[in-house]
């Protein structure tokens, strides 16, 4: 990391006297949102035989959007600043997240930390990237991959064996928990399918779409950023409604620059570094990241091409970006 990234911007970590929360009690909001999301997930199963199909289609689409909302807001913040003092509560929350969104939170944490380690880096001479989900990994000539390919194919590209090996190397116990979470969420889907096979056929396309929307969100959080400049690694969007509802997911350049800064302190961080950001040319878009393709100053994809470097039939571990 260049000197510029350690030269300034020290944001005091918020303190709390709460016996439950490890950080400010504001974390009760994302925790409550996660609980409601879990209830919504199982509530769809209850409503499926009781409401018209057109209502379920609307509810299914909302679930798809909520997967991206959870991964990029609730789950992302939980990785960097676990919500609870109690390790048991953090573990139970992780299991709940895994079931609700349909992936292992522990596996996601491993993939996400690699994302921060590589910061959407470009491929090396052998075509490899530190960041397993870099938007440049499957691109051409140093350009980002086409957004449609990244959005709809990334779902199939992750290698659970690689993630497991990385987890096992660092902490065998966490690797076992990751596998346990995978087994639990798959078991939940299987049970729902046994109870009502029509429902699981209805749910799976929306589950897939939800993770695609998460990849879409992740794509435009880095497209147009500068992989070689720490303060400009990410792309930010400062819409108030977007950030209030997505737990300051929009402050992505700031998040990559200082990943441990609590979500309630992102504005304070930006206030400190705004002049340095302007000098470095940090990219800012006016729309939420998932709608980044609507940005009027979107860089062209002239040399981007659709490519598939792994079998689309490989089992994957959904990720966050």
Average pLDDT for consecutive 10-residue bins of the chain (321 residues)? 49 84 96 98 98 98 98 97 97 98 96 96 91 95 94 93 95 96 97 97 98 97 94 96 97 96 96 96 96 91 45 40 43
Give the pLDDT confidence score for residue 15 in this predicted structure.
Answer: 81
Q: ∠ CA(91), CA(249), CA(129), 5° rounding?
A: 80
Distance CA 95, CA 107 (A): 12
Instruction: Answer yes or no: are the C-beta atoms of 101 and 66 closer than 8 Å.
Output: no
Give every CB contact of residue 243 below 8 A, 6+ residues apart in sequence: 237, 249, 250, 251, 266
Give every CB contact of residue 126 below 8 A, 6+ residues apart in sequence: none
Give the pLDDT confidence score for residue 3 in this predicted structure.
Answer: 39
Please list the residues that pair with 285 across neighbouring strands.
237
Report the 10 Å Cβ neighbour count for 88. 8
- How do 236-237 and 284-285 pair as beta strands? parallel
Q: Is the pTM of this model over 0.75?
A: yes
Distance CA 67, CA 73 (A): 10
Give the pLDDT confidence score for residue 196 in this predicted structure.
Answer: 97
Give the pLDDT confidence score for residue 8 in this predicted structure.
Answer: 56
Distance CA 301, CA 27 (A): 39
């Amino acid at each position: 990391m260049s000197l510029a990234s350690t030269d300034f911007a020290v944001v005091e970590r918020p303190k709390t006297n709460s016996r439950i929360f490890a950080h400010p009690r504001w974390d009760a909001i994302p925790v409550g949102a996660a609980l409601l999301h879990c209830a919504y997930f199982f509530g769809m199963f209850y409503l499926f035989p009781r409401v018209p199909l057109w209502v379920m289609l609307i509810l299914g689409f909302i679930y798809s959007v909520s997967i991206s909302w959870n991964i990029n807001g609730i789950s992302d913040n939980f990785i960097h600043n676990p919500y609870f003092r109690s390790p048991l509560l953090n573990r139970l929350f992780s299991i709940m997240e895994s079931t609700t969104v349909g992936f292992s939170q522990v596996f996601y944490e491993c993939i996400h930390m690699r994302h921060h380690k590589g910061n959407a880096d470009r491929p090396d001479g052998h075509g490899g990237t530190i960041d397993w989900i870099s938007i440049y990994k499957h691109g051409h000539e140093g350009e980002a991959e086409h957004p449609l390919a990244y959005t709809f194919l990334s779902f199939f590209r992750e290698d659970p064996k690689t993630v497991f090996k990385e987890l096992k190397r660092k902490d065998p116990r966490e690797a076992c928990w990751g596998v346990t979470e995978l087994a639990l969420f798959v078991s939940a889907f299987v049970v729902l399918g046994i109870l009502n096979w029509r429902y699981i056929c209805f749910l799976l396309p929306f589950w897939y779409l939800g993770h695609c929307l998460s990849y879409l969100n992740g794509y435009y959080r880095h497209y147009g950023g500068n992989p070689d400049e720490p303060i400009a690694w990410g792309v930010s969007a400062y819409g108030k409604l977007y950030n209030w509802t997505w737990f300051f997911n929009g402050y992505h350049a700031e998040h990559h620059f200082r990943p441990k800064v609590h979500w309630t302190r992102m504005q304070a961080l930006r206030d400190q570094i705004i002049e340095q950001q302007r000098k470095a040319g940090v990219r800012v878009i006016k729309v939420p990241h998932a709608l980044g393709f609507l940005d009027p100053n979107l860089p062209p994809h002239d040399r981007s091409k659709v490519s598939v470097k792994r079998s689309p039939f490989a089992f994957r571990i959904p990720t966050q970006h």
